[in-house]
Amino acid sequence: MHPSAPRLVLVVALLAAGGVLYGRHVGSSRRAAHSAATLAASVARGDLVLGVPHAAGGITLDGDTDDPGWLRPPGPARTGDFVFPDGKPARPYSEARIVWGGEYLYLALYASDEDIESHTDEPDAPIGLDDAIRVVFTQGDVEYAIEVTPKAVITDSIRRGDGAWDLTWSSGAHASREIDGSINDPRHVDEEWAVEMAIPFASLGMRGEPGENIGLSLHRCDSPLRGPRVCEGWGETSADDPRRGRGRIVLE
């Protein structure tokens, strides 16, 4: 799995007289209108809006992206480089690729890493300072967090409003890994790790229909062999750059 150039799709024309319903297929008019209004507000704020294509083939969760669902045109949506809080491209390099199909949203998470650290083996266990990528979906005042380690161990939780994170919630996500390096061995200079993940739409309150959209942010922290721990992300707001928009994905 190799980093590639980003393909960001910015949705700009959303509303007309009486409202516009995005996509080829629409559920109830109320649900579609609410989805369109949410997307319009996101665009108005200057958020990063990423159009996610429907997979043009099958996907097997094996940690790689050599399946038809990733390779056939139009290919996946790409975040491109994660960035530091000041908006500069982050190193080590990280990116995400996204497609959807059937009942699932598929994410391929890539992380360049010279010292892969992953000690947690049990789902929903504290991850601590392990390497991990945290994926957060936002729908209204509800946040769904799915954190995955290089071992493809998942810790997921939900938060409503300003409440506490509830670790009893399960996303039902499935994940598979691919690692180039030696986990927890600082004597060996590693190269990268990647995780393929399938997330059921139902767990995010979605139906899996064109035009549906949901907030998305990604966050990664890494401890290099030499130097302080660094954090980076995509679709996150920042005090250093308050103009930088939040992330949102739209099913195409």
Residue 21 has pLDDT above 80, yes or no: no
Q: Is the dihedral of CA 53, 58, 62, 64 positive or negative?
A: negative
The pair of three-digit structure tokens given for residue 6, joined into one six-digit string: 């980003």
What is the residue-averaged pLDDT of the chain? 86
Confidence of residue 148 (pLDDT cuts 50, 70, 90): very high
Q: Which numeric CATH code is attached to 29-251?
A: 2.60.40.1190
Query: How deeply is 47 buried, as exposed, middle or buried, from its count of CB atoms within 10 A (0-12, 13-18, 19+)?
Result: buried
Contact 199, 68 (CB under 8 A): no
pLDDT given at position 132: 95
To the nearest 10°, the Cα dihedral for 131, 48, 99, 14?
Answer: 160
Confidence of residue 174 (pLDDT cuts 50, 70, 90): very high
Mention every residue, 6+ apart, whose C-beta is less than 8 A from residue 82: 89, 90, 93, 94, 95, 218, 220, 232, 233, 234
Residue-wise pLDDT for 60-86, tens only, equals 999 999 999 999 999 999 999 999 988
Residue-wise pLDDT for 210-244, tens only, equals 999 999 999 999 988 888 899 999 999 765 655 56
